[in-house]
Amino acid sequence: DTGVSQDPRHKITKRGQNVTFRCDPISEHNRLYWYRQTLGQGPEFLTYFQNEAQLEKSRLLSDRFSAERPKGSFSTLEIQRTEQGDSAMYLCASSSNRGTGWEKLFFGSGTQLSVL
């Protein structure tokens, strides 16, 4: 399978706990994006990487959120001290700024986070 892979698919946690999600992009894609989506809403941009560099982060994103892409391949998104408002689907997407263009995002299946 050469699509975007996310792990885990579902995560249930208690308020105040830390959680970490992983995303493996399409192998030849140098850009990786994290979006968050709640029911009935469109995806909301969180952050993006080009290779290993984090180039942009949403101004609305709490300091409790951090993302890494250490070797320019997979990425992790960590949420510290989770709150009930963090409950959402966390979507990873990748693209390439070569060939087909960076704007054609390929999404993974997402990680559904539920904070109790």
Partner 1 sequence: QKEVEQNSGPLSVPEGAIASLNCTYSDRVSQSFFWYRQYSGKSPELIMSIYSNGDKEDGRFTAQLNKASQYVSLLIRDSQPSDSATYLCAVNGNAGNMLTFGGGTRLMVKP
> Binding partner 1 by CB under 8 A: which of 1, 14, 27, 40?
40
Question: If binding is defined by CB under 8 A, does position 24 make contact with partner 1?
Answer: no
> Binding partner 1 by CB under 8 A: which of 11, 21, 23, 43?
43
CA distance 6 to 37: 15
What is the nearest approach in angstroms of partner 1 to the Cβ of residue 17? 25
Question: If binding is defined by CB under 8 A, does position 10 make contact with partner 1?
Answer: no
Q: Which of 48, 26, 14, 28 is nearest to 106 (CA)?
A: 26
> Binding partner 1 by CB under 8 A: which of 19, 67, 91, 115?
91
If you search the block for the tokens 């986070």, which residue do you land on? 113
> Binding partner 1 by CB under 8 A: which of 11, 21, 29, 33?
33
Name, in order, each residue with C-beta under 8 angstroms of 72's C-beta and a sequence gap of 6 or more. Answer: 30, 49, 51, 52
